[in-house]
């Protein structure tokens, strides 16, 4: 840990706290409804936190996606929207911001991350091909499968162990990748799908050394590397904190170096980039750009707006600039660490080390008596909402879905409930309330029973599935 870690900074000078690099200019009232009201809201939602109405939620940690607070500069940018159908001024601002901070050549805007995943998957994957990656993400894998590909997990083993303290649990296991190349042949691997940080592993980062080595291996075999850059800024912060030689480098420089080892990226701008909606695809190769720019007009909108209004692109361009400021990233990840340290001090089982965007509660650690086919993470998310109106999200067997070949549940090693922290939205006092509620739910763990699934949609079932209490 370096001297600028927010958690240790105060200790050097006795009691000197750190604080967010902003103050609050506008507030949105929230309140907690009664336990009885929460109980009926939960029944109505089929025990799925995605189906709750946000008016019934007190502290909303469902996701950090599109839930961040924009700055006064971004809101001012909204007023500068150039709503031309073609060639909006704001598109060129956005293109320049992505080129400047991520370093890629060609930009295709999309309405959000999965729009970009759709384009890249369709452009590059031929039916029957294999896409290796550092753990699956729900929408990413589904688009790869819909394009006819099969995703294969090549993340290091430590990523599947919630207790492993490995500093870069997002790393690709190069031996696993080499073995896969030997097995299926490099010509059957359109690209490596690399994510920084790895959401489903708990927001765990990839090291610079790992991406550099990955690039070398892929060069040897003529395989391209595409990056899910959704939380790559947060990944860059962990490199600055943990990797030798990066402590004095700005986040922006680390981000750009990391991206330079990849051939392009897709982005859900709703996370790192600090906007409520938006996304982009960025590539270096002309041929891929040509395909993606042609497809975007079919699925998203013209290639100079891709589903976003001009004002959205302006807010996004400004959001990108703000997102790479060191003070911002330090405070953002610092707040996640603050919550993580409280829970760790109380010996509550969470994924260690704490990741960039969320605390992941280890539901197997909470409920060893609830088997995975009774949905322990879903149960935990429901229990937390009932206790305090805090909304979290299942990231376990429900999210993993069914194997498209066998039709069976996929049983991931990690059975987690995610407390996702929006950027620049909640205070330290909110984090205290959340931690205390998690503690109360943990203390009541032995009396908690599992759930059964009573409705299951075909795609991305976690969004809309319904559950009921077991008898
Ligand atoms: N990649 C990652 C790593 C993500 O976390 C997400 C979205 C996407 C791609 C898709 O982007 O939502 O803009 O279409 N994750 C959200 C979450 C939904 O809550 O983690 P999108």
DSSP string, 230-246: TTHHHHHHHHHHHSTT-
The whole-model pTM stands at 0.94
262 is known as an active-site residue: no
Q: Residue with the nearest Cα to atom 15 of ligand 1?
A: 65
168 is known as an active-site residue: no
From residue 38, alpha-carbon distances to 134, 375, 418, 451 in Å are 38, 20, 20, 17
Q: How far is the CA of 65 from the centre of ligand 1 (A)?
A: 7
**Which of the listed CATH numbers 3.40.50.970, 1.10.520.20, 1.20.140.10, 3.90.1150.10 matches domain 35-60+326-469?**
3.90.1150.10
169 is known as an active-site residue: no
pLDDT tens across 412-463, in order?
999 999 999 999 999 999 999 999 999 999 999 999 999 999 999 999 999 9
Ligand 1: residues whose CB is within 6 Å?
Answer: 63, 65, 112-114, 137, 139-140, 195, 199, 228, 230, 268, 270, 279
Give the SS3 label for residue 402.
strand
pLDDT tens across 63-103, in order?
999 999 999 999 999 999 999 999 999 999 999 999 999 99
Pairing of strands 106-110, 451-455: unpaired
402 is known as an active-site residue: no
Q: Residue with the nearest Cα to atom 4 of ligand 1?
A: 230
Q: How far is the CA of 195 from the centre of ligand 1 (A)?
A: 11
Side-chain-side CA neighbours of residue 55 (13 Å): 1
395 is known as an active-site residue: yes
Mutate to test the pocket of ligand 1, among 116, 199, 281 (most ligand atoms within 8 A of CB): 199
Which runs of consecutive H residues, i.e. helices, occur in 147-250?
A: 174-184, 208-221, 232-242
- Read off the pLDDT of each residue in 172-195 and give the average, rounded to a whole number: 98
Q: What is the pLDDT of residue 454?
A: 97
Q: State yes or no: cis peptide before 106, omega within 30 of 0.
A: no
What phi and psi values does residue 158 have, to the nearest 5 degrees? -55, -30
**C-alpha angle 438-443-445 in degrees, rounded to nearest 5:** 90
Q: How far is the CA of 37 from the centre of ligand 1 (A)?
A: 30
User: Does residue 9 carry a pLDDT above 80?
Assistant: no
Q: What is the CATH number of domain 72-323?
A: 3.40.640.10
Cβ atoms of 439 and 366 within 8 Å: the answer is: no
Catalytic residue among 85, 411, 459, 463: 85
Question: What is the domain partition of the chain in residue ranges?
Answer: 35-60+326-469, 72-323
Catalytic residue among 270, 395, 418, 423: 395
Pairing of strands 279-283, 106-110: antiparallel
Q: How far is the CA of 465 from the centre of ligand 1 (A)?
A: 18
pLDDT-derived band at 3, boundaries 50, 70, 90: very low
Catalytic residue among 173, 228, 272, 312: 228
271 is known as an active-site residue: yes
d(CA 431, CA 340): 10
């Amino acid at each position: 840990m370096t001297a600028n870690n927010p958690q240790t900074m105060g200790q050097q000078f006795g009691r000197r706290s750190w604080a967010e690099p902003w103050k609050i200019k506008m507030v949105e009232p929230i309140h907690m409804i009664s336990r009885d009201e929460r109980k009926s809201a939960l029944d109505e939602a089929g025990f799925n936190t995605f189906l709750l109405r946000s008016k019934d939620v007190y502290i909303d940690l469902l996701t950090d996606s599109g839930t961040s607070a924009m700055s006064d500069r971004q809101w001012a940018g909204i007023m500068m929207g150039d709503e031309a159908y073609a060639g909006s001024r704001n598109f060129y601002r956005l293109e320049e911001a992505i080129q400047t901070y991520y370093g890629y050549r060609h930009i295709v805007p999309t309405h959000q991350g999965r729009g970009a995943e759709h384009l890249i998957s369709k452009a590059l994957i031929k039916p029957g091909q294999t896409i290796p990656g550092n753990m699956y993400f729900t929408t990413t894998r589904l688009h790869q499968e819909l394009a006819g590909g099969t995703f294969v997990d090549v993340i290091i083993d430590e990523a599947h162990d919630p207790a492993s303290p490995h500093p870069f649990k997002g790393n690709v296991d190069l031996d696993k990748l080499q073995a896969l190349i030997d097995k299926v042949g490099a010509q059957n691997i359109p690209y490596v799908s690399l994510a920084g940080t790895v959401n489903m592993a708990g927001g765990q980062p990839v090291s610079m050394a790992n991406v550099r080595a990955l690039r070398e291996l892929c060069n040897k075999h003529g395989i391209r590397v595409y990056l899910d850059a959704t939380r790559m800024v947060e990944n860059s912060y962990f490199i600055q904190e943990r990797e030798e030689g990066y402590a004095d480098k700005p986040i922006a420089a680390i981000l750009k170096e990391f991206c330079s080892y990849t051939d392009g990226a897709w982005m859900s701008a709703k996370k790192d980039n600090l906007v409520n909606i938006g996304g982009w695809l960025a590539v270096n190769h002309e041929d891929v750009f040509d395909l993606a720019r042609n497809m975007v007009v079919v699925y998203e909108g013209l290639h100079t707006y891709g589903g976003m209004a001009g004002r959205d692109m302006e807010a996004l361009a400004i959001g990108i600039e703000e997102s790479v400021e060191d003070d911002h990233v330090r405070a953002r990840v610092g707040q996640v660490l603050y919550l993580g340290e409280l829970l760790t001090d109380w010996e509550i089982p969470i994924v260690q080390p704490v990741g960039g965007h969320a605390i992941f509660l280890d539901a197997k650690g909470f409920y060893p008596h609830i088997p995975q086919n009774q949905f322990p993470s879903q149960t935990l998310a429901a229990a937390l909402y009932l206790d305090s109106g805090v909304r979290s999200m299942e990231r376990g067997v429900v999210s993993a879905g069914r194997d498209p070949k066998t039709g069976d549940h996929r049983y991931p090693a990690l059975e987690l409930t995610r407390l996702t922290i929006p950027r620049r939205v909640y205070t330290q006092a909110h984090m205290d309330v959340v931690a205390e509620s998690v503690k109360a739910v943990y203390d009541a763990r032995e009396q908690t029973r599992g759930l059964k699934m009573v409705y299951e949609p075909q795609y991305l079932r976690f969004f809309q599935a319904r559950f009921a209490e077991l008898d």
